[in-house]
Chain A
Amino acid sequence: MTKDEHKEGIGGMANPRRYGIERVAYLLMRLSGLGLLAYFVAHIYETSNILRGQVGWDELLEMTSTTEGHIILSIVIGMCVFHTVNGIRVMLGHGGVGVGKPARPDYPYEPASQNYRHKIGIYSAIVLAAFAMMYGLAVLFGE
């Protein structure tokens, strides 16, 4: 990215404060996507430890049984739920579902695609992810 192009860059792309909850959802979607990818790689590494036999496997399980391990797993649960629910919303939107119908625009030009259905979808994804995380924490720490 050159200075000449005057692009906002990653800082601008990741700034969630200017364009409403839709942009917050955009950022969370990207972060949770990256987080899940990292977890996926770690998970393959983790489960591949079974090749080291019972001892290696038990050692690794112990690592995830720490307080930090539980917190990380709860975050993974939250990311997973948010990414799934919001992903369904975005996929439907990508197919043109729930984005409104073209019409003659009237001042003040409220964009039909930024409608309450999608906002409800975003808030639901956040709330469900929070509940799933709390449930995960309760189960993991209640062991």
Chain B
Amino acid sequence: MAQVSSIAEEQASTPLSSSKSITLRISRYNPKHDDSSVFMEFTVPYQKWTTVLEAILDVKKHFDHSVAVRYSCRQATCGSCGMMINGKPKLACFTKISELNSDVITVEPMSNFPIIRDLAVKFERMFETHHKIKPYLIRDDTELESDAKEFLQSPKEVEQYIQFANCIKCGLCNSACPTMATDSSFVGPQALAQAYRYVADSRDKGKDSRLKMIDEPHGIWRCHFAGSCSQVCPKGVDPAMGIQLLRGYLLGFRS
């Protein structure tokens, strides 16, 4: 059963010239001793600019400090605060309450990631797959051994991969992906987009080894171009584009 609480208005961090408030439903679950999650409800005042993260922090500060949530930068840069907000994966620090057009906001831990507690999820598997695709430049010569101090690139060459270098490893794409929803071994859009980021980098020479790595049953072929990853990505990475371009190499459309 949901527990309902409201923050004493004079205590909220949101200036209370605001007459607007929402009901914030927070999923509470500790896998160590709970059988299932329960929702706790809080009435939280908000302004036009109040983010979902700020509302959660208000709850932590003024009502229940045990709510587990992970965050750091509060500006869509660290990738820590992904969660399901009204059923879709979003960054809590990058989602304003006013843009949700709802009097009730439900926050839950991101789908397709194991839960640590409440809203915090484990990223280990995503970091593992990210690491597996070798997210660094592969070359025989290195800057240290080479006479050249840097590897020059034209603006056009930079454009080939720069949007994919925007990835903040927030995991929203993996959470929205329909294949990730059922296949625990799928590489996932985050890692595949990063594979493309390095394959498309004119300085990199590791294309063949990366393509080999993703050309397996739970690799790139499990992507069916549903595009949900790109729709939720908060940094314009567009993983779906990267994955299709990457597949183009394997299908012989690109070289």
| CB of A4 within 8 Å of the partner chain | yes
Residues in B whose Cβ lies below 8 Å from that of A94: 225, 244, 247-248, 251
Residues in B whose Cβ lies below 8 Å from that of A14: 178
| CB of B238 within 8 Å of the partner chain | yes
- C-alpha spacing A106/B162, complex, angstroms: 12
A6 nearest CB across to chain B (Å): 5
Q: Of the 9-residue stretches B17-25, B50-58, B61-69, B226-234, which lies at the interface with chain A?
A: B226-234
Q: How many residues of A contact B (CB 8 A)?
A: 41
- C-alpha spacing A13/B182, complex, angstroms: 7
Residues in A whose Cβ lies below 8 Å from that of B226: 19, 22-23, 25-26
Q: Do residues B228 and A23 form an inter-chain contact, with CB atoms below 8 A?
A: yes
| CB of A53 within 8 Å of the partner chain | no
Q: Do residues B87 and A113 form an inter-chain contact, with CB atoms below 8 A?
A: no
Residues in B whose Cβ lies below 8 Å from that of A102: 159-164, 200, 241-242, 245
Contact partner of B87 among A18, A25, A104, CB < 8 A? A18
Give the residue name and chain of the A residue nearest to B241 (CB).
A113
- C-alpha spacing A106/B159, complex, angstroms: 13
Residues in B whose Cβ lies below 8 Å from that of A110: 236
The CB with the most chain A CB atoms within 10 A, among B112, B115, B200, B225, is that of B225
Contact partner of A18 among B88, B164, B166, B253, CB < 8 A? B88
Q: Mark B169-200 against chain A: 1 for CB-CB distance below 8 A, else 0.
A: 00000001011111010000000000000001
Residues in A whose Cβ lies below 8 Å from that of B159: 102-104
Q: Mark A84-111 against chain B: 1 for CB-CB distance below 8 A, else 0.
A: 0000001001111101101111110111
Residues in B whose Cβ lies below 8 Å from that of A117: none
Q: In the complex where A6-B109, A99-B241, A99-B244 touch, is A22 in contact with B164 (Cβ < 8 A)? A: no
Residues in B whose Cβ lies below 8 Å from that of A18: 87-88, 176, 228
| CB of A12 within 8 Å of the partner chain | yes
- C-alpha spacing A6/B112, complex, angstroms: 5
| CB of B212 within 8 Å of the partner chain | no
B185 nearest CB across to chain A (Å): 11
A40 nearest CB across to chain B (Å): 20
- C-alpha spacing A20/B229, complex, angstroms: 12
| CB of B43 within 8 Å of the partner chain | no
Give the residue name and chain of the B residue nearest to A108 (CB).
B236
B residues 95-148 in Cβ contact with A at 8 Å? 109, 111-115, 121
Q: Do residues B182 and A1 form an inter-chain contact, with CB atoms below 8 A?
A: yes
Q: Do residues B241 and A19 form an inter-chain contact, with CB atoms below 8 A?
A: no
Residues in A whose Cβ lies below 8 Å from that of B31: 4
Q: Do residues B182 and A7 form an inter-chain contact, with CB atoms below 8 A?
A: yes
Residues in B whose Cβ lies below 8 Å from that of A10: 181-182
Give the residue name and chain of the A residue nearest to B226 (CB).
A26
Give the residue name and chain of the B residue nearest to A97 (CB).
B253
Q: Do residues A112 and B109 form an inter-chain contact, with CB atoms below 8 A?
A: no
| CB of A5 within 8 Å of the partner chain | yes
Interface residues of A (CB under 8 A from B): 1, 4-10, 12-14, 18-20, 22-23, 25-26, 29-30, 90, 93-97, 99-100, 102-107, 109-114, 118
Interface residues of B (CB under 8 A from A): 31, 87-88, 109, 111-115, 121, 159-164, 166, 176, 178-182, 184, 200, 224-228, 230-238, 240-242, 244-245, 247-248, 251, 253-254
For the complex of A and B, 10 pairs with smallest distance between CB atoms = A105-B236, A109-B236, A96-B248, A111-B230, A113-B241, A8-B181, A26-B226, A19-B228, A22-B227, A95-B253
21 residue pairs A–B, Cβ–Cβ below 8 Å: A1-B182, A6-B115, A10-B182, A12-B178, A12-B181, A19-B88, A19-B231, A26-B225, A26-B226, A93-B225, A96-B245, A97-B253, A99-B240, A102-B162, A102-B241, A103-B159, A105-B163, A111-B231, A111-B240, A113-B240, A118-B227
